[in-house]
Amino acid sequence: MSAYHKVTKDIVEELKQIVGDKHVIFDDEEKMEEYSHDEVAEVKFHGMPEVVVKPNRTEEISAIMKLANRENIPVTPQGAKSGLSGGGVAAIGGILLNVERMNRILEIDKANMMAVAEPGIITNDFSAEVQKEGLFFAGYPMSLLTCYLGGNVAENAGGGKAIKYGVTGRYIIGLEVVLPSGEIAFFGGKRVKDVTGYNMVQLMVGSEGTLGIFTKIIVKLIPLPKAKIDMMVLFEDLQTAIDVVPKIMTEVGVIPTGIEFMDQLTLETCCKHLGQNPDQYKNAGAFLIIEVDGNDEEQVLNECLDIGDLCTDNGAIDAFVAQTPADQEKIWALRRNAAEAFKAISPRQSLEDIVVPMSTIPRVLPILRDLSKKHEVFIPCYGHAGDGNLHATVIKNPDHTDEHWQDLLPKVLTDLYSEIYKLGGTISGEHGVGSKLKQYLPLVLGKTEIESMKSIKRALDPNNILNPGKIFDM
């Protein structure tokens, strides 16, 4: 890593010529600070770039990558910095390439039910625009009000609707990519079927900014569902709530759009953070947010009623139905703000992203309880119960010193990941490995698997210029 060259004033001049003076930040730590971290709380995963560049066109990114290869300088692509694995952080300095200016929707192609967009568009803005045409982008990361479409593709973002609609990659069918060499490639296209060679689109999806920089994204859309109902179901304890989740699908026979869960501590913390009164939720010990959508209002309502009955038969103490957009937003705001709410009360925490086969979800809770007891830390839990992706959050015990916490956290995580692996699970369902999880990769992937990934990286990026040190060290 030390073989990389530093960014000199001459290189900054060249960068300015490529993107324009206004779009380069150099020698100004105050301005660069906002680009030095994503949403990972731990400071050791933050990193100050040597220079920030904000290109506006594919050709500019191509020129930057060619310059970086010539001068042997690392480049880190960055979107909205909402990432939770440190992937978009210039961990070892070099050039930080932020795509915030590339935020246009280039086309909404109604006849083909597709849209072409640049990577810097905010996901929610993209969704809102296609909805105006009666079309639906099913990506719904809880950060959708801030994160970018390009970041979603790079992380293969999941979110609140993955159980019914799948994750981002399912909707990405074409990508313009600047390769690490600076060459421009177009993989895929507006074709629903395409087996002409390797599926490079899906190799790029989830590559965490290590294999190429996306500059145009073709998104497959579906018709916008006409009806949607959200429910909040209250349970005495988390185990009872979690136990009911697989039954919703197997016994009622409905795949909801989303099934999110929160434990009591999460709900209280979110209520406090948003100024909502937690008493309205009757001191319940656990909560499911269930969304059902479809085209027939009556059918959606009936499905919700069936799910409500099943929950009541299986220990639910109450259920609220939210039919108006305002009530729906009130419920979802609680869930969307969980990560932020915990970060506000304790910056010494690690937001986890474990994922297990759905049927084993109930077995995760005793593991968390045991680890919490063994290591004397708090591990509140919330997440996407419907797809097995649980955001357990390890929070420092206020009685412990910071030094103890630094020493303890890797032990807690090693224990947690080892147990999750035994259930057939893995360490990240949607946040990616980045720099945060890379030391734990060998716990869940063998040498052959990691070496195969490294061969792909070597083939596309022989100089290891693009986002080095993410996912694994070369």
Ligand X SMILES: Cc1cc2nc3c(=O)[nH]c(=O)nc-3n(C[C@H](O)[C@H](O)[C@H](O)COP(=O)(O)OP(=O)(O)OC[C@H]3O[C@@H](n4cnc5c(N)ncnc54)[C@H](O)[C@@H]3O)c2cc1C
What sign results for the dihedral spanned by CA atoms 414, 451, 356, 381?
positive
Looking only at residues 192 through 221 of this chain, which bind ligand X when binding is defined by CB under 6 A? 208-209, 213-214
Task: Decide: is 388 part of the binding site for ligand X (CB under 6 A).
Answer: no
Is residue 231 within 8 A of residue 321, CB to CB? The reply is yes
CB-count burial class (<10 Å; 0-12, 13-18, 19+) for 6: exposed
Is residue 101 within 8 A of residue 134, CB to CB? The reply is no
Is residue 55 within 8 A of residue 19, CB to CB? The reply is yes
Looking only at residues 400 through 429 of this chain, which bind ligand X when binding is defined by CB under 6 A? none
Q: Which is nearer to ligand X, 252 or 470 (CB)?
A: 470
Task: Decide: is 80 part of the binding site for ligand X (CB under 6 A).
Answer: yes
Q: Which is nearer to ligand X, 159 or 468 (CB)?
A: 159
Q: Which is nearer to ligand X, 308 or 384 (CB)?
A: 384
Q: Which is nearer to ligand X, 355 or 367 (CB)?
A: 355
60, 100, 155, 260: which one binds ligand X (CB under 6 A): 155
Segment near ligand X (CB under 6 A); pick from 13-21, 84-92, 369-377, 449-457? 84-92
To ligand X, the closest distance from the beta carbon of 154 in angstroms equals 3
Task: Decide: is 59 part of the binding site for ligand X (CB under 6 A).
Answer: no
Q: What is the DSSP letter of 393?
A: E
Angle at CA 269, nearest 5°, toward 266 and 270? 85
Is residue 230 within 8 A of residue 344, CB to CB? The reply is no
Radius of gyration of the chain (CA): 22
Task: Identify the CA nearest to 216 among candidates 181, 189, 180.
Answer: 189
Segment near ligand X (CB under 6 A); pick from 1-9, 148-156, 326-334, 442-450? 148-156
To ligand X, the closest distance from the beta carbon of 348 in angstroms equals 17
Distance from C-alpha of 168 to C-alpha of 142, rounded to nearest angstrom: 13
Q: Which is nearer to ligand X, 229 or 339 (CB)?
A: 339
Looking only at residues 89 through 128 of this chain, which bind ligand X when binding is defined by CB under 6 A? 99, 119
56, 58, 152, 266: which one binds ligand X (CB under 6 A): 152
Distance from C-alpha of 285 to C-alpha of 160, rounded to nearest angstrom: 21
Task: Identify the CA nearest to 168 among candidates 154, 178, 179, 187.
Answer: 154
Looking only at residues 337 through 376 of this chain, which bind ligand X when binding is defined by CB under 6 A? 339-340
Contact map string, positions 235 to 274, toward ligand X, x by CB under 6 A: ----------------------------------------
Contact map string, positions 440 to 469, toward ligand X, x by CB under 6 A: ---------------------------x--
The maximal CA–CA distance of the chain, rounded, in angstroms, is 71
> Distance between alpha carbon 356 and the CA centroid of its chain, in Å?
17
Q: 397-403: list long-range contacts, CB under 8 Å, 24+ apart.
A: 400/376, 402/348
To ligand X, the closest distance from the beta carbon of 38 in angstroms equals 4
Q: Contact positions toward ligand X, by CB under 6 A? A: 38-39, 76-84, 87-88, 99, 119, 141-143, 147-148, 150-152, 154-155, 157-159, 208-209, 213-214, 339-340, 430-431, 467
